C-alpha cells in the first residue's frame, strides 16, 4: 500500500516536493502465510481429536501444552546430596516425599468423594463418534459425492443381441490394438494399484506409464490409528484392583515447586565434589512411572525403552535395584543414555560395581529375550510426544514422511507391552507409560496387550489402580478426572499452575 505525503522540511525552498512512502502491515507476511508445518498439523489434529474426547477441558490443557513445561530436580545421591537439598530449599523448592506425606494425611482427615463418577463409556462413545466422522471424511475424499456414479452398469444392445443368458453373449472384437487403446484411454487417478495383487513392476511399466500410477502405500487412512481402540472386544479375564504395595523409596530425593508457585525454573546443575552433577532436571510427570514400579531391594529391573536415560537414572537413585538392564534399539539414543550415566554416576565406565549392576543392551524391544526374567519392567514406549509435537518441527512425528510411522504407533506400543509381560516374572510388575493424552495409545494399548498376552501366551495380569497413592500428588501436579480419567491408569494433565506432562502411567502385575 502506498500513500503520498507532502515533504514539510525546507518547504519554502521546495514547495511542491512530495514523498511517496509504503505503509507497513502490522503482521509480517510470513505470519500471514498459511501454517502447514508439522507442529501446526499436530496442533490441528489435537484440536480435532482431543476436543472430541475431553470436551471443554481441552482449552486449558491446550494453553498449558503450548507453554514451557515445568521440571523437578532429582538430587544425585552420588554427589553432595544434603548440601544440594539445602541449596534448592533456599530457592523455594520442597521435598516431594514430604509434600506427598502431608497431602496423604490431609486426605485421611478429609476424604474426597471424587470417585470415578463419569464412566469410561463416555470416553468410548466420544472416540467412536470421532472415528465414524473420520471414516466418512476419508470415504468422501476417495469416492465422488456429486451423484455421478451410476447405480448399475448397462451393456450395449449389440452385445445382448440374440443372447438368452450371459453365457451366450457375444462381445465385439476390439477395433484398435492394445498400444493404441492405452494411448487414447483416460486414466482413472482415483484407482489404487495394490502390490498384493501380484502384478510385477515390469508388467506395470509395460502397459501404463509409472508416472500415472498411485501406489497403495502412498495412502494410509487416518482411522487406522484408532482401530486399536475400537477392537477392544473379546473375552479375557480383566481384573482391576487397588494398589496396596506403594511406598515412596526412602533414598529418592526429589525437589519441586508447589502449584501456582512463582518459582518454576531451577538453577543450572553444578558439579559436586565427586565430579558428577548435583541434580538431574526432568519433567515431574516422568517420576511417576518409577514410583509405580514399586521397586524392592534386590530387584532385577528392565527398562525396555530406556533412552535417553532419565528414568533409568531415577531407578538407580532409589538405590534399590540389584541389576538394571537398560535397553534401546537406537544407537544414538543409547549413547545419550551412556553420557548421562557418565555425568551422574561416579566412575561409571571403570567402576566394577556399575559393570555388575548396570547392563546396556541395543535390541528391538519387541524381540528382547532373557532367561532369568525380571522382577520389574518399565515400558516407556515411543508415542506422539504431544508437547514436543506442538512445539518443535524437528524430529516431529507429524512430518509428512512419518505418516505411516505415526499411524502404526499403537501397534508398536502393544507389541512392546506384550513382550514386557512375557519377560516379567509371575508376581512381578510391568509399568506402561507414554507422554501422550491419546486414549488410543494409553488405555487402548493396555487393553489390547492384556488381551493378546492372554490369548497368545496364556499370560494373565491384573491392573493395579494407582489413584489412591497418587492422590497425594495433588498439591504438585494435576491428574485427570471426569472425561480425562483413564480406566486402567493415571493421566497427568498439563495445567498452567502445574505444567507437567502429559503422561500416562499404568501398573500391571502378572499373576499367571
CA distance linking residue 508 with residue 292, whole number of Å: 10
- Dihedral angle of Cα 102, 108, 112, 113, to the nearest 10 degrees: 160
CA distance linking residue 290 with residue 301, whole number of Å: 11
CA distance linking residue 354 with residue 280, whole number of Å: 19
CA distance linking residue 324 with residue 349, whole number of Å: 15
CA gyration radius, the chain: 30
CB distance 295 to 376 below 8 Å:
yes
245, three cell numbers: 504395595
| Cβ within 8 Å of residue 484, ≥6 positions away | 54, 57, 61, 491, 493
CA distance linking residue 440 with residue 421, whole number of Å: 19
CA distance linking residue 113 with residue 207, whole number of Å: 71
3-state secondary structure of 44: helix
- What is the sign, positive or negative, of the torsion defined by CA atoms of 496, 501, 504, 506? negative
CA distance linking residue 240 with residue 242, whole number of Å: 7
Q: At how many degrees (to 10) do helices 120-142 and 38-54 cross?
A: 130
* Other Cβ atoms within 10 Å of 211 Cβ, number: 5
CA nearest 440: which of 471, 466, 461, 412? 412
Considering only the C-alpha atoms of the chain, give the largest distance between any 2 of them, rounded to a whole number of Å. Answer: 105
- Dihedral angle of Cα 338, 341, 346, 350, to the nearest 10 degrees: -20
CA distance linking residue 105 with residue 255, whole number of Å: 20
3-state secondary structure of 240: strand
List helix spans (H) across 345-375.
352-357
| Grid-cell match 452385445, residue found | 159
| Residue 435: active-site member | yes
User: What stretch of H or E contains 204?
Assistant: helix 201-207
CA distance linking residue 26 with residue 34, whole number of Å: 17
Residues that are catalytic: 435
Amino acid at each position: 500500500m502506498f500513500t503520498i505525503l507532502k515533504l514539510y522540511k525546507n518547504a519554502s525552498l521546495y514547495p511542491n516536493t512530495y514523498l511517496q512512502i509504503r505503509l507497513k502491515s502490522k503482521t509480517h507476511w510470513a505470519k500471514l502465510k498459511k501454517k502447514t508445518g508439522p507442529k501446526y498439523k499436530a496442533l490441528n489434529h489435537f484440536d480435532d481429536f482431543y476436543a472430541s474426547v475431553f470436551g471443554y477441558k481441552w482449552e486449558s490443557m491446550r494453553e498449558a501444552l503450548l507453554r514451557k513445561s515445568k521440571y523437578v530436580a532429582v538430587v544425585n545421591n552420588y554427589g553432595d546430596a544434603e548440601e544440594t537439598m539445602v541449596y534448592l530449599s533456599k530457592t523455594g523448592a520442597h521435598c516431594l516425599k514430604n509434600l506427598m506425606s502431608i497431602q496423604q494425611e490431609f486426605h485421611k482427615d478429609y476424604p474426597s468423594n471424587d470417585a470415578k463418577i463419569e464412566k469410561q463409556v463416555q470416553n468410548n462413545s466420544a472416540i467412536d463418534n470421532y472415528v465414524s466422522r473420520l471414516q466418512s471424511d476419508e470415504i468422501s475424499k476417495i469416492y465422488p459425492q456429486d451423484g455421478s456414479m451410476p447405480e448399475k452398469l448397462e451393456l450395449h444392445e449389440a452385445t445382448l443381441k440374440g443372447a438368452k443368458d450371459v453365457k451366450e453373449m457375444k462381445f465385439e472384437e476390439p477395433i484398435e490394438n492394445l498400444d493404441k487403446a492405452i494411448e487414447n484411454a483416460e486414466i482413472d487417478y482415483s484407482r489404487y494399484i495394490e502390490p498384493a495383487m501380484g502384478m510385477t513392476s515390469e508388467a506395470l511399466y509395460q502397459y501404463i506409464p509409472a508416472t500415472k500410477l498411485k501406489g497403495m502405500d502412498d495412502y494410509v487412512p487416518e482411522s487406522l490409528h484408532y482401530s486399536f481402540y475400537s477392537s477392544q472386544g473379546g473375552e479375557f479375564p480383566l481384573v482391576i484392583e487397588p494398589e496396596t504395595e506403594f511406598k515412596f523409596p526412602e533414598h529418592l530425593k526429589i525437589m519441586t515447586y508447589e502449584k501456582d508457585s512463582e518459582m518454576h525454573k531451577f538453577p543450572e546443575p553444578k558439579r559436586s565434589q565427586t565430579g558428577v552433577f548435583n541434580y538431574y532436571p526432568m519433567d515431574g510427570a516422568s517420576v511417576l512411572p518409577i514410583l509405580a514400579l514399586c521397586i524392592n531391594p534386590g530387584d532385577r529391573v528392565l527398562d525396555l525403552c530406556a533412552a535417553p536415560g532419565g528414568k533409568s537414572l531415577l531407578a538407580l537413585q532409589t538405590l534399590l535395584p540389584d541389576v538394571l538392564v537398560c535397553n534401546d534399539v537406537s544407537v544414538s539414543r543409547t549413547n545419550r543414555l551412556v553420557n548421562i550415566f557418565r555425568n551422574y554416576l561416579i566412575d561409571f565406565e571403570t567402576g566394577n560395581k556399575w559393570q555388575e549392576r548396570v547392563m546396556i543392551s541395543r535390541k528391538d524391544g519387541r524381540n528382547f529375550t532373557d532367561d532369568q526374567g525380571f522382577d520389574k519392567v518399565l515400558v516407556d514406549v515411543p508415542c506422539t510426544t504431544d508437547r514436543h509435537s506442538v512445539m518443535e518441527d524437528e524430529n516431529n512425528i507429524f512430518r509428512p514422511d512419518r505418516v505411516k510411522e505415526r499411524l502404526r504407533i499403537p501397534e508398536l506400543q502393544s507389541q512392546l507391552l506384550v513382550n514386557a509381560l512375557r519377560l516379567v516374572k509371575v508376581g512381578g510388575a510391568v509399568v506402561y507409560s507414554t507422554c501422550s493424552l491419546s486414549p488410543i495409545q494409553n488405555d487402548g494399548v493396555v487393553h489390547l496387550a492384556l488381551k493378546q498376552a492372554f490369548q497368545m501366551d496364556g499370560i494373565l495380569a491384573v491392573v493395579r489402580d494407582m489413584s489412591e497413592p497418587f492422590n497425594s500428588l495433588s498439591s504438585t501436579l494435576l491428574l485427570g478426572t471426569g472425561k480425562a480419567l483413564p480406566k486402567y491408569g493415571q493421566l497427568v494433565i498439563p495445567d498452567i499452575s502445574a505444567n507437567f506432562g502429559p503422561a500416562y502411567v499404568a501398573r500391571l502385575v502378572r499373576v499367571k
